[in-house]
Structure 1
Amino acid sequence: MDPRGRTGQAQLAFDELGTPLRDTTFVVFDLETTGTKPGPHGITEIGAVKVRGGQVLGEFATLVDPGAPIPPQIVSLTGITQAMLYDAPRIDRVLPAFLEFIGGSVLVAHNSGFDVSFMRAACEGHGYAWPKPTVVCTVRLARRVIPREEARSYRLSSLAMLLGSRTRPTHRALDDARATVDVLHALLERVGNLGVHTVEELVDYLPEVTGAQRRKRHLAHDLPSRPGVYLFRGPGDEVLYVGTAKDLRRRVRQYFTGSESRGRIREMVALAERVDSVECAHSLEAEIRELRLIAAHRPMYNRRSKNPHHAWWIGLTEEAFPRLSVIRAPRPGVLGPFRSQADARTAADTLAGASGLRTCTQRISPTSASGTPCVLAELGRCGAPCAGRQSVEDYSPAVDAVTELIAGRDAGPLRGAAAYLARLAEGQHFEQAARHRDDLAALVRAVGRAHRQAALASITELVAASPDGAGGWEFAIIRYGRLASAGVARRGVPPMPIVEHLVAAAETVLPGPGPLHGAAPEEVGVLLRWLARPGVRLVRTSRPWAEPAAVAGWAGWLDLAAGARSLERATN
């Protein structure tokens, strides 16, 4: 039987029917704040109402001490004074209870972007993970449902009056949340008459979607509900866009229902004629294949790097008095990779200053070592740290120090730079010290990243396993910093035979030049992040996986530097 009805729309599969609105738990919430800029301490009041099927299940209301004065105009608007907040809890004490209250619910707010941004900033500022719930904005919903000739304004007070809300907004959180509940129910009645009956249909209905965009939903019909990579192809079979998904069919369907609001992606969808897919064993394989397919096809609508091997490196020049040079082609003994030439240049200058290497591009021969090593120094036109060197022998300790740092054997230049930073602070040269601190922190992170990536890329074969969350395992076979094979062992399946099969079928990888042995920096970075996830285990390696210890002890210093920088931003 033809699964299409008279309207010509495809019948939905059972797993696509979605959650009926009448069975959905909504938490409608509102905030009062100290201003318009989100921050970890900007909330003064939270009000929330939990509803399902038109029935109120519970309410949440509390004042919050923001730890800062409330602007007079805000006091005038909300009526919340400093005295009212005298014994109110701080936001870090309120967040656990609020997050528990909204757990598993669809969040609703009037102008949700404002309220959600404050809650997200509060969570980030106090070490709580924002749960990323589905969010419905009653302003957007009202604009879609109520024409302008019926509603002169989409403000909460106007909509509450228009739709007959039992509660009038008062610029107090709980009253406004209760009013928004009545507005929501009235709007859901209207969209129900338009055929919107599930949460998924409601989310899809909110954005403006053209008929042509909706008609392309059939491009997702034959895709599997599996993790993998999808490729949008244009009229000439060219690849327009590459992406990854845990569920290929569901993710691609979202491009045709309005969940995608980016203008360039909507333009891409308008051009698309076909969607291909590559099923993957798990999300790591999908992410790696995405990188490789972007590099191979260079799709015009992808913004990720289309040249994965094009990174920047810094290394010593080959001359009597070497300096650090920024280069594109990696070779043995260089430091990197860096994402941009500017980042590489800053790191080179910081390292040169810390070690005493010269930074000028003057060509120097050994014959000039009888006096000073540089014509510019002889003329008194050079103030670089190397200007006082009298011979190649005097200069070589600086070269050796940089070589040892790049190799991971010693962090002498970093210690010297930290000592210089301490002298600047003691001398109360605070602005100069702050700039030097930030440059040194960037250098320490770059050296640490380079050491970690090089250590992984030097291993001939590494087999790792990650729990899949359902009692099984996800496997990755990594050779010279590249994913050579991937697979899974579901719960109850003996894992080691699967591992042996994956190793036997893995791609042959030959090492290339440079610290990463020819691997793409982005791919090595993805593998490192996966290996660092909680629960990942090493099954076996061709040799022990060990990272240089030169910068391992700098984690605490980096935390202090990051804290100081955050404090400066908060006070400026």
Structure 2
Amino acid sequence: MTITEPGGGGKGTAQLSFDELGTPLRETTFVVVDLETTGGSATEDAITEIGAVKVRGGEIIGEFATLIDPERGIPPNIVALTGITEAMVLGAPRLASVLPAFLEFAGSAVLVAHNAGFDMGFLRAAAERHGHPWAKRTVLCTVKLARRVLSREEAPSCRLSALAELFGAATTPTHRALDDARATVDVLHALLERVGSLGVQSLEELLSYLPDVTPAQRRKRELAKDLPSAPGVYLFRGPREEVLYVGTASDLRRRVRQYFTASENRRRVREMVGIAERVDVVVCAHSLEAEVRELRLLAAHRPRYNRRSTNPHRRWWVALTDEAFPRLSIVSAPKAGAFGPFASRGAAAEAVEALQDALPVRRCTQRIPARSPKGVPCALAELGRCKAPCAGRQSVEDYAPAVHEVRRLFTGDSVQALDILAGQLDRLAAAERFERASAERDRLIGLIKALDRGQRLATLAALAELVAARPDGTGGWDFAVIRYGRLASAGSARRGVRPMPVVDSLVAAAETVLPDDGPLRGASADEVSVVLRWLDRPGTRLVHCDVPWAEPARAAASWRPWVARAEAGRVATTPPSER
């Protein structure tokens, strides 16, 4: 294996001047890669050689080259084409050891290949096979670019050998990986010179120049021209001023420009771009403010091109009914004492079933009077699973302890129900009823997670005021004033600015929040979740809190180690095909 990364030098190409919109091509790192393989199938064949050249600003800054033992025979026609024989790869490193080195060499650079679909298909399959994450990467195909730039008369063929000859490449392609990668570098630079004369000056513009960008996307690029390079929220508006789409960005101008490039391939979003007439932005102090404003704008406008626009704050809760013999009910408008939130009604129903198995609360839905009930016992009463308060067999006083225990579980003052369910799980496992035990385990995991999350959200939403700070990464601070789980004010103190006067002004100007009696004091579950996630990030500091922010000692959080062990066991016993 050969890896070289000189500090400079190499064959250069004259560069054009680039604007500062997007990522200038002169500052973009490209890794031009070529593979030799035993055949054309990424799933059936293997890689025999990798060659790659790293370039930036027209200069070669590194090379990577190695033969690879494919751990199988090389067909004669491939030997004749590449000259790579089985004797040559005997003793060469295997792909499992080469792939990490190549991925480190490539880093986050733009990957370039001639007929990129072939090379990227093999690399992606290899990464998945050997357990390496294949993140979404920017890929440039010199075949596609050549077909976009060159006419048929000038380049009847877009094969690498033909383009290398056309542009007078310094390296002749030989069907060996490093030679072909070097030749592709020369072709790439020649093509970049061509598109540069057409005004393509940044990586985003280069990607948008490729054929799969619709004319509507190209025409609408002017919408991003005057946007600021700042964090915030953007709103695409249609011809009747309606909000079509809402999103957040750490750099508004750069993010919105991406909607007009080839990197945007979502069909509905392309359709939205074609309709949009204007882009409005709300500049925010930091990422938390942007996320919260996005949630509020989604709820206010429900833009049709956002997937989250359908009932954006719709969540489900489990509550006790208000009657003499309370039962568990699934509601969408929670009142005090409810627990949740659940993303779906089905998840809430699973939690209700688990609680009914643990505590003797009734399952029937009839309304039972406190005095002289005259109902007929159901089958559950005959099975001993209900004490039949409907038939007068259980008094309000006898029924009350189960209700009290449910309330204590919801508030985090008791985990008796979880102890009971864990005991039932142990008995099922001891009886070797493994399939039932697996289902009960998953249901208990879901209940604990829901309780844990709901209790954490509720403790945050109970705080009248909390002021927190996070380092902004440049020596300054980002601040958030949080009242009853909602963001009431946001701001920042850049490096060199005294932070406490900024905090005082943010608190003084913060929104007044009037809580209600719900579990989250009227805040949306999504907003409280976003705020909690921001507060949980490492490095966050509490500047002020009106009362100590704490969770009950017997809350569901005490079961997190059990959940971690249970989930580890679930993964270990699940067949790979079902994971």
* Residue 136 of structure 1 pairs with residue 136 of structure 2: no
Distance, in Å, in 2 between the alignment partners of 1:80 and 1:531 is: 59
**In the alignment, is the contact (CA less than 8 A) between 2:381 and 2:387 conserved in 1?**
no
With over 3 angstroms needed to count, the CA separation of the structure-2 counterparts of 1:292 and 1:23, relative to structure 1, is closer
Correspondence for 1:552: 557
Residue of structure 1 aligned with 2:29, choices 8, 24, 32? 24
**In the alignment, is the contact (CA less than 8 A) between 1:160 and 1:168 conserved in 2?**
no
SS at match of 1:452: helix
* Residue 241 of structure 1 pairs with residue 255 of structure 2: no
TM-aligned CA deviation for residue 423 of structure 1: 1.8
Distance, in Å, in 1 between the alignment partners of 2:50 and 2:107 is: 15
Correspondence for 2:566: 561
Distance, in Å, in 2 between the alignment partners of 1:402 and 1:241 is: 42
Residue of structure 2 aligned with 1:570, choices 553, 562, 576? 576
Q: Structure 1 residues 256-265 or 48-57, which shifts more?
A: 48-57
**In the alignment, is the contact (CA less than 8 A) between 2:49 and 2:177 conserved in 1?**
no
Residue of structure 1 aligned with 2:477, choices 473, 476, 479? 473
1:238-285: per-residue Cα shift (whole Å, max 9, x none)? 111111111112222222233321111111111111111111111111
TM-aligned CA deviation for residue 206 of structure 1: 3.4
**In the alignment, is the contact (CA less than 8 A) between 2:68 and 2:92 conserved in 1?**
no
Query: What TM-score does the superposition give when structure 1 sets the normalisation length?
Result: 0.80
1:419-450: per-residue Cα shift (whole Å, max 9, x none)? 21222222222222221111111111111110
SS at match of 2:20: helix
1:153-198: per-residue Cα shift (whole Å, max 9, x none)? 99xxxx45655685565xxxxx557645544643553454243464
1:310-340: per-residue Cα shift (whole Å, max 9, x none)? 3211011233443211011111111111112
Distance, in Å, in 1 between the alignment partners of 2:364 and 2:514 is: 38
**In the alignment, is the contact (CA less than 8 A) between 2:28 and 2:109 conserved in 1?**
no
SS at match of 2:322: coil
TM-aligned CA deviation for residue 358 of structure 1: 3.0
* Residue 204 of structure 1 pairs with residue 208 of structure 2: yes
Map 1:264-343 → 2, pairs under 5 A: 264-343=268-347
Map 1:213-232 → 2, pairs under 5 A: 213-232=217-236
TM-aligned CA deviation for residue 411 of structure 1: 1.1
What one-letter code is carried by the residue in structure 1 that aligns with 2:194? N
**In the alignment, is the contact (CA less than 8 A) between 1:386 and 1:395 conserved in 2?**
no
Correspondence for 2:539: 535
Residue of structure 2 aligned with 1:425, choices 429, 454, 457? 429
Q: Structure 1 residues 204-213 or 515-524, which shifts more?
A: 204-213
Distance, in Å, in 1 between the alignment partners of 2:85 and 2:349 is: 52
* Residue 50 of structure 1 pairs with residue 53 of structure 2: yes
* Residue 391 of structure 1 pairs with residue 394 of structure 2: yes
Structure 2 segments unaligned to the other structure (5+ residues): 1-15, 165-170
**In the alignment, is the contact (CA less than 8 A) between 2:32 and 2:185 conserved in 1?**
no
TM-aligned CA deviation for residue 62 of structure 1: 7.7
1:207-236: per-residue Cα shift (whole Å, max 9, x none)? 522334322222222221111111111111
With over 3 angstroms needed to count, the CA separation of the structure-2 counterparts of 1:13 and 1:105, relative to structure 1, is closer
Correspondence for 1:376: 378
Distance, in Å, in 2 between the alignment partners of 1:446 and 1:147 is: 61
SS at match of 2:532: helix
**In the alignment, is the contact (CA less than 8 A) between 1:377 and 1:387 conserved in 2?**
no
TM-aligned CA deviation for residue 139 of structure 1: 6.5
With over 3 angstroms needed to count, the CA separation of the structure-2 counterparts of 1:193 and 1:497, relative to structure 1, is same
What one-letter code is carried by the residue in structure 2 that aligns with 1:317? T
Q: Structure 1 residues 429-438 or 263-272, which shifts more?
A: 429-438
1:527-568: per-residue Cα shift (whole Å, max 9, x none)? 011011111111110111112332222222222232233330
With over 3 angstroms needed to count, the CA separation of the structure-2 counterparts of 1:151 and 1:505, relative to structure 1, is same
Distance, in Å, in 1 between the alignment partners of 2:85 and 2:562 is: 42
TM-aligned CA deviation for residue 104 of structure 1: 5.1
Distance, in Å, in 2 between the alignment partners of 1:415 and 1:80 is: 65
TM-aligned CA deviation for residue 474 of structure 1: 0.4
SS at match of 1:538: strand
What one-letter code is carried by the residue in structure 2 that aligns with 1:376? C
* Residue 256 of structure 1 pairs with residue 257 of structure 2: no
Percent identity at matched positions? 49
With over 3 angstroms needed to count, the CA separation of the structure-2 counterparts of 1:269 and 1:80, relative to structure 1, is farther
With over 3 angstroms needed to count, the CA separation of the structure-2 counterparts of 1:48 and 1:13, relative to structure 1, is closer
Distance, in Å, in 1 between the alignment partners of 2:155 and 2:208 is: 23
Distance, in Å, in 1 between the alignment partners of 2:344 and 2:85 is: 49
* Two-structure CA RMSD over aligned residues (Å): 4.1
TM-aligned CA deviation for residue 80 of structure 1: 12
TM-aligned CA deviation for residue 505 of structure 1: 0.6
Map 1:444-483 → 2, pairs under 5 A: 444-483=448-487
Correspondence for 1:7: none
**In the alignment, is the contact (CA less than 8 A) between 2:481 and 2:488 conserved in 1?**
yes
Residue of structure 1 aligned with 2:493, choices 486, 489, 502? 489
With over 3 angstroms needed to count, the CA separation of the structure-2 counterparts of 1:312 and 1:378, relative to structure 1, is closer
With over 3 angstroms needed to count, the CA separation of the structure-2 counterparts of 1:55 and 1:308, relative to structure 1, is closer
Distance, in Å, in 1 between the alignment partners of 2:90 and 2:527 is: 51
TM-aligned CA deviation for residue 64 of structure 1: 9.3
With over 3 angstroms needed to count, the CA separation of the structure-2 counterparts of 1:493 and 1:163, relative to structure 1, is same
Map 1:93-242 → 2, pairs under 5 A: 97-103=101-107, 105-108=109-112, 110-111=116-117, 114=121, 117-118=124-125, 134-137=138-141, 141=145, 144=148, 159-160=159-160, 163=163, 166=172, 179=180, 182-183=183-184, 185-186=186-187, 189-190=190-191, 192-195=193-196, 196=200, 198-206=202-210, 208-242=212-246
**In the alignment, is the contact (CA less than 8 A) between 2:359 and 2:402 conserved in 1?**
yes
1:68-118: per-residue Cα shift (whole Å, max 9, x none)? xx89999x999999xx99997895x77764454223532335227645655
With over 3 angstroms needed to count, the CA separation of the structure-2 counterparts of 1:540 and 1:306, relative to structure 1, is farther
**In the alignment, is the contact (CA less than 8 A) between 1:313 and 1:334 conserved in 2?**
yes
Distance, in Å, in 2 between the alignment partners of 1:540 and 1:32 is: 62
With over 3 angstroms needed to count, the CA separation of the structure-2 counterparts of 1:72 and 1:525, relative to structure 1, is farther
Structure 1 segments unaligned to the other structure (5+ residues): 1-10, 170-174
TM-aligned CA deviation for residue 307 of structure 1: 3.6
SS at match of 1:402: helix
Distance, in Å, in 1 between the alignment partners of 2:36 and 2:376 is: 66
